[in-house]
Amino acid sequence: MDKPTFRYSFRCRDRLLDLSRPVVMGILNVTPDSFYASSRVRTTDAVLRQAEHMLNEGAAILDIGGASTRPGAEEVPTEEELRRVLPAIEAVHRHFPEAILSVDTWRAEVAQKALEAGVSILNDVSAGRWDEALLSVAAQHRCPYILMHAQGTPQTMQVAPMYSEVAQEVLDFFIQKLQKLRALGIYDIAIDPGFGFGKTLEHNYALLRQLPAFEAVLQLPILVGVSRKSMVCRLLGVKPEAALNGTTALHVLALLQGARILRVHDVREAMEAIRIVEAYQAPGSIVAL
């Protein structure tokens, strides 16, 4: 039996982002302590160069973050997060006005000012749990919202995470949160299982195998963020700098399981994974470059 086909799109300001086929979200970290050092861009010129590079390679979204949420990361004051992220957003929006931008934040104040500066999408690792006012900001702006599952906080999430049945518990979490979001009038939603956020290696791979069930039940696009993470590094015994090959393997698996958004450090390789999976799934549409 063929799998059901869901067609999705997001209204991003005056543009429609088509998610009927997978897209790539490029990561722009304006932080000094993100887990993958090569992803850090500290100056406006560096941000613009990286943004242009990712857009040229095919990124549909640029995700700008000013506070690391890696395991063990210290909480950054709101003023510092704003100081990092707003100039980057303003510069990218000014130089690439057609680009769709998201902001990676859990703070309502940062979200509000980022949306005013040109962002279209809110990417919230906390699901509104760490600053409930953020959901009101999303509702007010009627912007797409990325709902992520995390157990604990960055300071505690990898301290012996436990579940009785990880996929069912994460699915139940999403069902509950979606009721709240829709009651607020938030309907453009993507689901992020939160790979590496309060999960063991076994939990992560169990969630990856269950992505089709998540889409079938929730009928929402799924975002997968596994780029150079512990799912690769711990399994293969490599550092993030050597995890591109393993990341691409995970991207292929995620796409075969129904992922619609890949959040990545390496756009070209992710785009190549999408083309290969699409050729595999629809051989009649193969077009060589």
Q: Catalytic: which of 228, 229, 239, 260?
A: 229
| pLDDT over 60 at 33, yes or no | no
Q: Catalytic: which of 84, 113, 228, 263?
A: 263
Q: Does residue 250 form part of some domain?
A: yes
Cα–Cα nearest to 126, from 141, 114, 139, 111: 111
Q: Does residue 9 form part of some domain?
A: no
Total domains present in the chain: 1
How far is it, in rounded angstroms, from Cα 141 to Cα 145?
10
Model confidence, pTM? 0.92
- 60 burial via Cβ count (<10 Å: 0-12, 13-18, 19+): buried
Q: Does residue 78 form part of some domain?
A: yes
Q: Does residue 26 form part of some domain?
A: yes
Q: Does residue 116 form part of some domain?
A: yes
Q: Does residue 2 form part of some domain?
A: no
Known catalytic residue at 70:
no
pLDDT of the residue at 1: 41
What confidence category does residue 31 fall into, taking pLDDT thresholds of 50, 70 and 90?
confident
What confidence category does residue 107 fall into, taking pLDDT thresholds of 50, 70 and 90?
very high
Which residues constitute the domain of residue 169?
A: 22-281
pLDDT digits (tens, 9 = 90+) for 232-278: 999 999 999 999 999 999 999 999 999 999 999 999 999 999 999 99
Average pLDDT, the chain: 91
Please spell the DSSP secondary structure of the chain, one letter per residue: -PPP----EEEETTEEEE-SS-EEEEEEE--S--SSGGGB--SHHHHHHHHHHHHHHT-SEEEEESS--STTPPPPPHHHHHHHHHHHHHHHHHH-TTSEEEEE---HHHHHHHHHHT--EEEETTTTSS-THHHHHHHHHT--EEEE--SS-TTTTTSS---SSHHHHHHHHHHHHHHHHHHTT---EEEE--TTSS--HHHHHHHHHTHHHHHHHH-S-BEE--TTSHHHHHHHT--GGG-HHHHHHHHHHHHHTT--EEEES-HHHHHHHHHHHHHHH-GGG----
Q: Does residue 259 form part of some domain?
A: yes
Q: Does residue 5 form part of some domain?
A: no
Higher-confidence position of 65 and 34: 65
| pLDDT over 80 at 4, yes or no | no
Cα–Cα nearest to 55, from 23, 30, 7: 23
Lowest mean pLDDT among 73-82, 134-143, 253-262: 73-82
Question: Angle, nearest 10°, between helix axes 166-183 and 211-218?
Answer: 30
What confidence category does residue 117 fall into, taking pLDDT thresholds of 50, 70 and 90?
very high
pLDDT digits (tens, 9 = 90+) for 40-64: 677 888 899 999 999 999 999 999 9
What confidence category does residue 286 fall into, taking pLDDT thresholds of 50, 70 and 90?
low
Q: Look up the CATH number of the domain holding residue 95.
A: 3.20.20.20
Q: What is the arithmetic mean of pLDDT over 195-199?
A: 92
Percent of the chain with pLDDT over 90: 79
pLDDT of the residue at 284: 67
Known catalytic residue at 180:
no
